[in-house]
Structures are given as structure tokens and as C-alpha cells.
Structure 1
């Protein structure tokens, strides 16, 4: 399969992986023909690219750390839980939440079980979701990345559970922030920026109000925007004042947010987001956490269409753990755009003068 921009789809292209909305419901199933009308609708929903069937890359199948069924269940649970928490705040007498913590723990147990069964596999995440579904897909992706980093760091079962629950709900406080501020396309005023900053404290308060969610999980919501040089928020903590959960989730949250497409901007290229993390080592982020991130995440998912500095276009067919910027690429087009009759693979770990300069999505 191949991850291709909607603008570059050929007539008769068919979807290779289903598209999910913010509730985990299938918007469009695998095998669906991408007609001009459907492409127009997907574009309106903020979806920039999709996985399509391609016989030349049929072996390029992203090996996700969680199954499609689990992802659907997770999105549904995150959406329902966050919405219930906000409704319960507004109407505490009419609406009583039941066992929020247990529901999220049960979900995370499934996620963690699948992740442990694929331990050592780099995380493949392609940001394919509607702009309206950003909060819920973002929360799940940040949780998967954070827990993978936590396992590499050496967290035990209880710590992994607390980190997983906290990251699944780390942005719940954003539901208290006016949507017109969260999605504002232009520059924020000081008052608007402060309103957004408050989401960390809001989230902490909302999670601490749940009897069956631990204080450590709640601190993920509180600290995921803290920075080790003290420039973060809401409390401007420095260095070891920040809990390990805050340090881990900060890296995952920033990378996922940078590479995601939003209503008001297109997502950054993966290598640009990675360069930001590397440039902020020792100031915003703890160097060890970024190094662990490099060991656990595949920034170019298998199937992603990329362009090389040679001018050739190809598809990522394999990656190398610890070297996310140097995958193996199957070259499909010449620099002039001519389709190759016999595609060939280039291992960027062995061809050091060749590098990825752009990618689809």
C-alpha cells in the first residue's frame, strides 16, 4: 500500500485502510473507490492523504502496535469519557459518572497487552484523521508513543498503567476552552493564549475529581507542557521538579501536535518536527527522553510516499530502529516523474548521501 496526498491520486484509486472519525466509526472502508466527489468530501474534512492500494508496494504494510479494532474501541472510549466528564461538570445533579478510571484502565490494559506483544517494534503513526477528530486521535497517539517510551525507559507495570491512563486523557481540559480560541487561524492575543494554557490545570482538576484515577495520572495533564528550562506552563517547573511522566509526555505531545494537520495549518514534515525536538534537547526537553523517542518511533511510516534529494520519488518499505531518518525506500519514479517499470529499493543506512527531503501528507 501507499500513503498518497489526495491531490496526487490517480483515477480509480482505491482505499487500502479504513478512515475513522473521532468516535472510531468507519467513515470509509478499505477497498472503496476514491471518486472525485469522495476526494472533495475528504478534503473538506481536513484529511490530506490516505493509504491506497498499489501492486508495486503491496508488501509495504504498516505493522501497527495496536489493531484496528482496538484503535476503534479506544477512540470511542476516549470520546465518550471526555464528553461525559464535561457534561457531568455542567450538570452534576442530573448526570453521575460511573467508574471512569476503570473504563480507561480496561482500555489501556488492552492497548498495553498488544504493545507488549510487539515489543521492540518501532511505532508507526500516520496522522489520518479529520480536523474535528484531532483531540481524540491526538490523545490516543500521544498515549501510544508515551507508553512505548516509558517501556524503553524501564517503567514497571503500575507506572505504565498510570502513564497510559494519564496520556489517554491528558488534553481533556481543552474541552473547557472555547473552540474558537483553540482553532483560531491567526495570532492569539495574550488573553487567548492564557486561556489555552489553562487547559493543563483544568485537565488536572477534572482528573483529580475522579476517585478511581490516580494523582500520578492527573499529573500528566498538569505537566505535559512544562519544560526543563522553566519556560513551560502552568507552573514554570524546572529540571527534576518535573515528574518523569511530564518529561515523557512533553516529547510525544509536541511531536504529534507538530506533525498533525489542523484547521488553521498543515502539519510539519516529520523530519522537521524531529529537528525541533533535537534542537530543544537540554532546554525544553530532557536529552535522554528525546534519545528514547528516537529508539521507539518511526517518523516515516511504512507506506509513506517520499521524495529523495536525488529527485526520485518512492515509498518507505522498511525502517531501522534507532535511525528514524534513514529508512529503506522503494523508488517508483524518476526525477522527471516517469514511472519505473522495475522499482528498486534504496537503504538509506547504506547510501548515506541519499536523504528524504519531503513526504506526502
Structure 2
């Protein structure tokens, strides 16, 4: 598979990665041949890049971070919970009758089981979601990334479940914000940002009323926008006064937001997002947790387009957890931009003078 911009997609291209809708359902399954109407629909729904198979990259395929079935079930549950609370005028009273703790522990356990079944824990979220589904899929992505960090830190089973529930529900307070604001295309005004900032406290109040949601999980909702230097909100907590779970979720939240297509913001590549987090370590984020995170993120995911300092162009065909900056690149074009009749591969672990100068 290889990544292409949606405006470069052509009728007849074969989709290599599933595309999901807001409630977790697959809208277009991998293996589907794209048509002009499919491509037009993807553009209209905010998809900026897709992954396709072609004769040179058909054998490059990434096992998803979580299985399509687990993702669909998790997103469907988040979607149902959030939409029910959005539509319920007295959500604080309504949430008291729900058993979110038990339900979301079960969901997160399935995510954990799938993570543990993988050969490695590399974070490579290549799933594609239409823009209307971002809010719901984002919670599942954040929980998946948080789960990897929790496993890397050696958390106990109960700690992992508490972290996972907090990660899946960290944005539940957004249900109490006017939907016109969190679905707004374009930047928020200062007053709108002030209103939206209250979602952290709303979320904390909602989760506190759940008998099976631990205080640690509830603090994920309250503190995920706090920053390590005290510049965040709602209480300008700093350093270790921010719960460790919330510090983990802050990293996962920002990484997934930066690498996801948004109507009002540039979509960044994983290496750009990782560089931002690294630069902000110990200022906005806990640098010890950043270092743990960086050990498990796929800086150059499979299918990423690469330009080398030699001028050759290709796609990432293999990655190694112990050498995140030195993948194998399948060369498809010469320095003049001409397609090669016989592509070849370069293992950057063995070519110390060859470097990546651009990735997209």
C-alpha cells in the first residue's frame, strides 16, 4: 500500500485501508475499486489522504492497531453514549442511570487483548475516518495510544482498565457544550474557547456520578488540558499535581489530533507530530512520558511517501521498533521523477549516508 492525496486518487485505484463513518461502520472497505463518485464523496467528507494498492506496493500491508471488529464496537459505544447525552437535556441526571464503568472496561479490555496479540506495540494509526466521525474515533485512538504507554510502563491490570476508561471517556464533557461549537469549521473566538474549556469540569462532574468509574478515570476528563508548566486549564495544575493518567492522555490527545484530518487545521505527519511533542517536553508535557511514547510510535508508517537525500523517491515498506528513524524504503522513482521499471529497496539501517529529507 502507499499513501496518496485524495486529489491524486483515480477511478480504478484499489483502496488499501478501510474508511469509517461516525458510528464505527465501514463506509468503504479495503479492496474496493474507487469510482469518481466515491472519490468525490470522500473529498466532501473531509478525507485528505487515502491508502491504495498498486502493482509496486500491493504486498505492503500494516496490521491495524486494533481489529476492525474491536474498533467498530468501541466507536459504536462511544457514539451511542455521546449522542445520547448530547440529546438529553438533563445529562447529569441521565448519566447517573448508566453503568459506564463496566461497559467501558469491557471495551478497553478487548482493545488491550488485541494490542497484546500484536508482534509489537508500534503506534501506527492508519485508519481513515470521515470528518463527521472524528470526535468518536478520536476517543478510541486516544485510548489505544494510552494503552500502549500504560503497557510500556508496566501498569497493573486494574491501572490499565482505569486508564482505558478515562481515555475512552475523557471528552465526555463535550456533550454539554453547544454542538455548533465543537463541530465548528474554523478557529474559535476567545469567548467560544472559554465556553469549550468548561468541558473538562463538565466531564469530571459526569464521571464522578458513576459508581463504577474510578476517581483516577474521572481525573482524565478534568485534567487532560492541564499542561506540565501550569499553563493549561481548568486549574493551571502543574507537574506531578496533574494525575499521571491525564498526562498520558494529554500526549495521546495531541498526537492523534495533529495527525488526523481536521476542517480547520493542517494534518501533520507522525514525524512532525512526534517532533512537536518532543520539543514541548517538560514545558507542556511530561518529558519522561514523551520518551516512553516515542519508543513506540511509528515515525514513518508503512506506505509513507519518502524523498531521500539522493533524490530517489519511494514508500516505506518495512519498519523496525528499535530503529524508528531508519525504515526500509522501496524506491519507485529516480531523481528525475521517472518511474522505475524495476523498483528496489534500501535498508536505511545499513546505508548511513542516505537520509530522509521529506516524508508525506
Q: State TM-score, norm by structure 1.
A: 0.92
Change (3 A) 1:92 1:271: closer
CA drift of 1:185 comes to: 4.7
Report the counterpart of residue 63 of structure 2 in structure 1: 63
**CA offsets, 1:258-288, max 9 Å, x none?**
1111111231222221111111111111111
**CA offsets, 1:71-115, max 9 Å, x none?**
111111111122223344537788984422221111111111111
Report the counterpart of residue 305 of structure 2 in structure 1: 305
Query: How far apart, CA to CA, are the structure 1 residues paired with 2:288 and 2:170?
Result: 22
Change (3 A) 1:177 1:91: closer
Query: How far apart, CA to CA, are the structure 1 residues paired with 2:115 and 2:199?
Result: 29
1:42 partner SS: helix
What are the residue-to-residue correspondences of 1:323-334 with 2, within 5 Å? 323-334=323-334
> Is this contact kept in 1: 2:308–2:357, CA < 8 A?
yes
Query: How far apart, CA to CA, are the structure 1 residues paired with 2:102 and 2:23?
Result: 19
Indicate yes or no: 2:164 matched with 1:147: no
1:56 partner SS: coil
> Is this contact kept in 1: 2:306–2:316, CA < 8 A?
yes
The more displaced of 59-68 and 216-225 is 59-68
Report the counterpart of residue 274 of structure 1 in structure 2: 274
CA drift of 1:13 comes to: 0.7
> Is this contact kept in 1: 2:95–2:210, CA < 8 A?
no
> Is this contact kept in 1: 2:300–2:324, CA < 8 A?
yes
Change (3 A) 1:357 1:39: farther
Report the counterpart of residue 34 of structure 1 in structure 2: 34
Report the counterpart of residue 84 of structure 1 in structure 2: 84
Larger RCO (alpha carbons 8 Å, 6+ apart): 1
Change (3 A) 1:91 1:258: closer
**CA offsets, 1:201-234, max 9 Å, x none?**
1211122222221111111111111111101111
**CA offsets, 1:25-62, max 9 Å, x none?**
11112222212221111000001122212232223111
Query: How far apart, CA to CA, are the structure 1 residues paired with 2:94 and 2:172?
Result: 21
Change (3 A) 1:89 1:156: farther
Indicate yes or no: 2:239 matched with 1:239: yes
**CA offsets, 1:121-143, max 9 Å, x none?**
31211252111111111111111
> Is this contact kept in 2: 1:185–1:265, CA < 8 A?
no
Query: How far apart, CA to CA, are the structure 2 residues paired with 1:94 and 1:121?
Result: 37
Query: How far apart, CA to CA, are the structure 1 residues paired with 2:192 and 2:168?
Result: 25
- The alignment's C-alpha RMSD in Å is 2.2
Query: How far apart, CA to CA, are the structure 1 residues paired with 2:357 and 2:44?
Result: 27
Consecutive unaligned residues of structure 2, counting only runs of 5 or more, are none
Query: How far apart, CA to CA, are the structure 2 residues paired with 1:357 and 1:89?
Result: 52
Query: How far apart, CA to CA, are the structure 1 residues paired with 2:241 and 2:92?
Result: 35
What are the residue-to-residue correspondences of 1:199-214 with 2, within 5 Å? 199-214=199-214
> Is this contact kept in 1: 2:207–2:213, CA < 8 A?
yes
Report the counterpart of residue 226 of structure 2 in structure 1: 226
Query: How far apart, CA to CA, are the structure 2 residues paired with 1:187 and 1:3?
Result: 28
The more displaced of 319-328 and 144-153 is 319-328
CA drift of 1:64 comes to: 2.1
What are the residue-to-residue correspondences of 1:125-164 with 2, within 5 Å? 125-126=125-126, 128-164=128-164
The more displaced of 349-358 and 126-135 is 349-358
> Is this contact kept in 1: 2:220–2:245, CA < 8 A?
yes
Consecutive unaligned residues of structure 1, counting only runs of 5 or more, are none
Indicate yes or no: 2:343 matched with 1:343: yes
Change (3 A) 1:52 1:119: closer
Q: State TM-score, norm by structure 2.
A: 0.93
Report the counterpart of residue 315 of structure 1 in structure 2: 315
Query: How far apart, CA to CA, are the structure 2 residues paired with 1:95 and 1:114?
Result: 29
> Is this contact kept in 2: 1:142–1:249, CA < 8 A?
yes
